[in-house]
Structure 1
Amino acid sequence: MTTAPGAARRFAYSTVDVFTDRRFGGNPLAVFTDAEGLSDAEMQALAAEMNYSETTFVLPPADGANDARVRIFNPTAEMPFAGHPNVGTAYVLAGLREGCGDVLRFEETAGLVTVRLRRDAGNPVGAEIDAPQSLQRLGELPVPPLAACVGLDERDFVTDTHAPVRATVGVDFIIAQVAADAIGRAAPDIAAFRAALALVEGDSERLSLFLYAREGNTIRARMFAPLAGTWEDPATGSANATLAALLLDCDGGDEARFESVQGVEMGRPSTLSLSARRVDGWIYASVGGDCVPMFRGEAVL
């Protein structure tokens, strides 16, 4: 962005609700559509000021074959990858870029992210993304400290399919299954989250706990990351994609599809379409949903 010396710098942004077909549902996202000229510290400060689960900053790609470099910040730190920021950013850019194709490629810290736009009568209505990495299991965790994190009894946790596990397809989460009658009772205890940080090797700042209840291919989910500034997340695309990959790994087979509902307890119901597939022994996942535009504005720095 070019400005005269000493002049105010203006950066346009749009906000959008992601993984919903109605306003004030889903997960809100702020997208700074031309972030060239912003420093790392300014991006972090803007993300903290917006105070959404994540805020994205669109930059020119390093490789001209790709559509953008996208940086993702939560209120306290930069993220290597996340789900709803990619879906929402693609939706916003499709509305701004005339002749935008149906497939966008974003350069991110975790790798190249492919996004496929969903259209209705030619107009973008949402998107589906491919997670940038195959499933990696990073170790199992004990139930008692996780139960303390969310105020549940140890007996509320279901371990028949898998123990609580740290896993990733681009950004890691602790994933644990709980009983259907327990998921609505979960409430984060920040002191217990701080005490449980020792469970997460090599990460001294973030513990993201993703709980789910399952009935067949229907998922009810909640995600808590209070140490990263997200007391609860209305929709967590990257965690849901990781779950889809994990369940395919546990259940067996070559592919699987799921529908996940999240954010109900927050009054922001979100619906996410999940898929996972096995390719040459590796498991990959995708997540998609609809978007609704909300606000446009600019930051003056």
Structure 2
Amino acid sequence: MAMRKYSEVDVFSPTAYLGNPLAVVHDAEGLASGQMQGFAKWTNLAETTFLMQPEDPAADYRVRIFSATQEFPFAGHPTLGSAFAWLKAGGVPKKKGRVIQECAAGLVEVRVEPQRLWFAAPPLTRYEPVAELLVQRIAEVLAIPRERIQDASWLVNGPEWIGVRLSSAQQVLALDPDPNALGTLAIGVAGPQEPGAGTQFEVRAFVGGDPVWEDPATGSLNAGLARWLADSGLAPERYIAAQGTAIGYQGRVHLRVEDGVVWVGGDVNSCVQGEVDL
């Protein structure tokens, strides 16, 4: 056991405590995978990250990302939150204005801008239509008629998201699915907002097989949705997605597509600073 620097940050909301919380353990060298997994279970947050010295000389730091039950090769809000916590703890990137994160999915670039951080989303490793039988099951999980689902696609970039498109933000907000029917699926639902709403899409993320049921703000899902919606001609090159509205949060995920790369941006707020004996 050793005292290690510890942070909790709030990601993807301009207002602290209305986004997605993340626990960050700094200087995590020497911790075994089982210790990391056990601590992530104890924090009871969607994800907990552990920062270490990089193995790739191009990276500024290395991160391992755990939910309460498993390790992820990549995840969105842990990427922005970890970069923010590393910088706040005194980390100095090799190149000004750009942090290079090493994770199990490879190197991820994070741009540091005055108002928010942005990460370059890794390519989708599975990006294809969802089989009709599974779409029918998803409709049952979401407790809606099958014909209300306009389209569905695999959007795998670490987490195995399935993107579902409905015709309006109102339909997304009205969803009242059964968490017991979700199983191990991870379903992200998007619908367009009315003009003048201030955001362009309403998003909800339902995650099975984990203590988290509905996620308040999700970078990996929104990265996949941005790729899919842009390729379908349904989203502009820059837009803002609202998420967490239905569960009392104020998630705001900023998306832009530049030269074929999806960039995901969000505000990050520092909430807890201290030490953990781990």
- The alignment's TM-score, normalised by the length of structure 2, stands at 0.89
Change in Cα spacing, 1:252 to 1:99, as seen in structure 2 (3 Å) is: same
Q: 1:8-157 residue pairs with structure 2 within 5 A?
A: 8-97=1-90, 99-100=92-93, 101-119=96-114, 125-134=115-124, 136-142=126-132, 143-157=135-149
Question: Alignment partner for residue 268 of structure 2, among 291, 294, 297?
Answer: 291
CA shift for structure 1 position 174: 0.3
Question: Alignment partner for residue 172 of structure 2, among 137, 162, 183?
Answer: 183
Change in Cα spacing, 1:252 to 1:42, as seen in structure 2 (3 Å) is: same
CA shift for structure 1 position 214: 1.4
Quote the residue 1:233 is aligned against. 215
Q: 1:191-202 residue pairs with structure 2 within 5 A?
A: 191-194=180-183
Quick check: 1:267 aligned with 2:248? Answer: yes
Change in Cα spacing, 1:134 to 1:225, as seen in structure 2 (3 Å) is: closer
- The alignment's TM-score, normalised by the length of structure 1, stands at 0.83
CA shift for structure 1 position 151: 2.4
After superposition, what is the alpha-carbon deviation per residue over 1:138-172, rounded to whole angstroms, capped at 9, x for unaligned? 44133321122222332432x2xxx2111234433
Q: Which range moves more in the overlay, 233-242 or 46-55?
A: 46-55
Q: Secondary structure at the match of 1:137?
A: coil
Aligned amino acid, residue 206 of structure 2: F
Q: Output the CA distance in 1 between the equivalents of 2:44 and 2:272.
A: 15
CA shift for structure 1 position 99: 4.5
Q: Output the CA distance in 2 between the equivalents of 1:290 and 1:72.
A: 20
**Gap regions ≥5 residues in structure 2:** none
Q: Which range moves more in the overlay, 127-136 or 45-54?
A: 127-136
Question: Alignment partner for residue 172 of structure 1, among 149, 156, 160?
Answer: 160
Aligned amino acid, residue 243 of structure 2: Q
Q: Which range moves more in the overlay, 137-146 or 108-117?
A: 137-146
Q: Output the CA distance in 1 between the equivalents of 2:60 and 2:3.
A: 22
